[in-house]
């Protein structure tokens, strides 16, 4: 009996059989529509819950109510007024913080002295929540736009400086040595080797600083502003106008998406060689 | 123009890498540097090319460089060192942008370098679109664009497959044929050394010292002949016998480190 079983086994082993495939997984692909379909499903369920009365509209207004609120805000002009203030603050703060961050980041990346001093300061000051400095900035700069813009600029500055000097550090040294071997002057090495080499990291930094700027503008406007999306969201919350509150949140989300798309375009244009 | 290594010593921290290395490269001469792994061949080349300051001794130039040379000592790198964001054309033009050449002169020089390296049809391509051999051709075209007196080649073929290596070796032989350009050719490949060099400097294991200088008693044209294979092989064996024991010791040293 045992012999027969052994013979069967030997016969089975002698037969050719396919090699088992073991290479599946660990290779997630990007699906073009799945994200949108998932989002549409969530919105549909949310709308259904609102329309069927499963949730109180005061606590969670339906998507259609939010769309109507946005439409009314746009018609009345309030949306543009609030949005333009926020965009002005974000734009000014982001530009100031980015310019300062790029200069300091390049300094740290290229100079031993600047690196020694700069990294210590950045390490000490980067973790501070910048919004906590707003009262101090109001004291220094007054109650106008300056402290809000300065708060955003500070938040943007640190992330930009870090991404720039990390980018400079990541430029392959062999390219710098190659340029030096051809006697290319320092400023041309910075412009033609280090800047393009650091650009991927700098643009990745822009993505982060755009979010930081958005976060800080809302916080700053909630603390001390009459106009701006942050101020609008706070007012709507105080008046229990949750449809308007969420309208503000949706506008912020759309604004973030538009900025992200802009950075994507910039990356496609400037990093086409990758 | 001659290049002189004059008692060059170098140390990285407490590690002695080179010890009183001296030799000369005469105008138009090709000198190969071989030795066991870690003997300081690439370090020596960096010192000769002015990219690294030696701990003692110095690299010297004697005589005037050719009148039209824009960069008498020019490197060809092992890893090609191409700017990935620049096209082939822009990479070749890169070392010219800070020179006194006008745009039209630069255009002529770049076109000539691309033609000599067979890259004219690829001038608009980016490095990532090219094979390893083509990338190294771009590195060579870039070097030729500055009309060097001496090429400093740091294992320029080591990152390439054997067929591409063979083709590029032929290109090197052709480029160096007229004797207008000398070269220092660092390699661990003894076949390349005997095929290309007029003299081979054999370095000892770390700290690298000049152990022997072997003269190749044939012209480069003669070496291309099939009848020369035997002689070249004998020379290769002679070099290997000089390096073998030290290469084994160097290998053991790496394993124990």
CATH number at residue B43: 3.40.50.300
Q: Is B143 in the same domain as B199?
A: no
In a domain? residue B219: yes
Residues B204 and B93 in one domain: no
- Judged against a pLDDT cut of 70, whether residue A1 lies above it is answered with no
Is the domain of B137 the same as that of B118?
A: yes
Instruction: Write out chain B residues lying below 8 Å of A178, CB-based.
Output: 75, 77, 81
User: What is the predicted pLDDT for the residue at B228?
Assistant: 84
Asked if the Cβ–Cβ distance from A196 to B75 is below 8 Å, we say no
Structural domain contains residue B47:
yes
Contact between chains at B126 and A273 (C-beta distance less than 8 A):
yes
Residues 6+ apart with CB under 8 A from B89: B110, B114, B123, B124
This model of the complex carries an ipTM of 0.90
How many domains does the structure of chain B reveal? 2
Full residue range of the structural domain in which residue B129 is found: 81-147
Across the interface, whether the CB atoms of A177 and B51 are under 8 A apart is answered yes
Domain assignments of chain A as residue spans, ordered by start: 75-270
Q: What is the mean pLDDT of residues A255-267?
A: 93
pLDDT tens readout for residues A87-105: 999 999 999 999 999 999 9
* Chain A residues close to B89, C-beta within 8 Å: none
Dist. CA B151–CA B143, nearest whole Å: 8
How far away is chain A from the Cα of B116, in angstroms, using its nearest Cα? 20
- Three-state DSSP class for residue B14: coil
pLDDT digits (tens, 9 = 90+) for A29-62: 777 889 899 999 999 999 999 999 898 988 999 9
Same domain flag for B37 and B91? no
Nearest to A220 by CA among A141, A123, A118: A141
* Same domain? B202 vs B186: yes
CA quadruple A137, A165, A274, B88: dihedral, nearest 10: 130
Each residue of A184-199: pLDDT tens digit?
A: 999 999 999 999 999 9
3-class secondary-structure state, position B235: helix
Residue B191 shares a structural domain with residue B241: yes
Q: Assign domain A75-270 to a CATH class.
A: mainly alpha
**Do both B158 and B248 map to the same domain?**
yes
Please give the structure tokens belonging to residue B44: 């020596």
Q: Is residue B4 part of a domain?
A: no
- B159 and B52, same domain (yes or no): yes
Q: Is residue B73 part of a domain?
A: no
**Nearest-CA distance from A210 to chain B in Å?**
26
User: Is B10 within a domain?
Assistant: no
Sheet containing strand B15-25, strands side by side: B15-25, B2-12, B56-62
Residue A204 in contact with residue A178, Cβ under 8 Å?
A: no
So what's the pLDDT on residue B1?
87
CB B182 within 8 A of CB B29: yes
Contacts of A274 in chain B (CB under 8 A): 84, 128
């Amino acid at each position: 009996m045992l012999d027969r079983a052994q013979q069967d086994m030997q016969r089975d082993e002698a037969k050719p059989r396919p090699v088992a495939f073991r290479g599946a997984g660990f290779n997630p692909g990007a699906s073009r529509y799945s994200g949108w379909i998932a989002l549409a499903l969530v919105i549909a369920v949310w709308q259904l819950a609102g329309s069927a009365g499963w949730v109180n509209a005061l606590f969670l207004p339906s998507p259609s109510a939010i769309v109507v609120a946005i439409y009314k805000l746009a018609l009345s002009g309030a949306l543009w007024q609030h949005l333009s203030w926020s965009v002005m603050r974000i734009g000014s703060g982001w530009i100031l913080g980015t310019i300062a961050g790029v200069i300091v980041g390049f300094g740290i990346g290229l100079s031993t002295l600047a690196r020694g001093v700069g990294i210590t300061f950045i390490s000490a000051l980067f973790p501070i929540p910048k919004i906590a400095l707003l009262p101090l900035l109001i004291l220094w700069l007054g109650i106008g736009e300056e402290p809000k813009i300065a708060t955003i600029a500070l938040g943007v500055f640190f992330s930009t400086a870090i991404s720039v000097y990390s980018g400079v550090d990541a430029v392959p040294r062999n390219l710098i040595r190659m340029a030096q071997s051809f006697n290319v002057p320092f400023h041309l090495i910075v412009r033609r080797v280090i800047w393009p080499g650091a650009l991927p990291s700098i643009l990745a930094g822009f993505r982060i600083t755009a979010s930081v700027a958005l976060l800080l503008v809302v916080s700053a406007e909630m603390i001390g502003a009459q106009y701006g999306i942050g101020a609008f969201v706070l007012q709507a919350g105080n008046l229990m106008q949750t449809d308007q509150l969420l309208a503000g949140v949706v506008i912020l989300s759309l604004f973030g998406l538009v900025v992200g798309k802009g950075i994507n375009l910039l990356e496609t244009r400037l990093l086409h060689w990758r | 123009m001659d290049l002189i290594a004059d008692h060059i010593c170098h140390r990285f921290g407490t590690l002695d890498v080179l010890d009183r290395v001296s030799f000369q490269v005469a105008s138009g001469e090709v000198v190969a540097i071989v030795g066991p792994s870690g003997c300081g061949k690439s370090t020596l080349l960096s010192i000769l090319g002015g990219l690294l300051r030696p701990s003692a001794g110095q690299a010297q130039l004697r005589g005037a460089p050719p009148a039209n040379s824009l960069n008498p000592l020019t490197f060809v790198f092992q890893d090609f060192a191409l700017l990935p964001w620049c096209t082939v054309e822009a990479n070749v033009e890169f070392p010219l942008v800070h020179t006194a050449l006008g745009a039209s002169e630069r255009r002529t020089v770049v076109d000539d370098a691309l033609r000599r390296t067979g890259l004219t049809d690829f001038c608009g391509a980016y490095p990532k679109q090219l094979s390893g051999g083509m990338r190294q051709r771009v590195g060579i075209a870039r070097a030729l664009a500055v009309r060097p007196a001496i090429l400093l080649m740091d294992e320029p073929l080591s990152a390439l497959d054997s067929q591409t290596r063979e083709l590029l070796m032929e290109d090197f032989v052709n480029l160096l044929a007229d004797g207008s350009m000398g070269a220092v050719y660092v390699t661990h490949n003894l076949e390349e050394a005997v095929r290309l060099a007029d003299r081979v400097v054999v370095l000892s294991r770390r700290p690298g010292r000049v152990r022997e200088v072997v003269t190749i008693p044939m012209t480069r044209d003669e070496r291309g002949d099939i009848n020369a294979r035997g002689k070249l092989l004998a020379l290769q064996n002679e070099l290997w016998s000089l390096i073998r024991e030290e290469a084994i010791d160097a290998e053991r040293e790496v394993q124990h480190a």
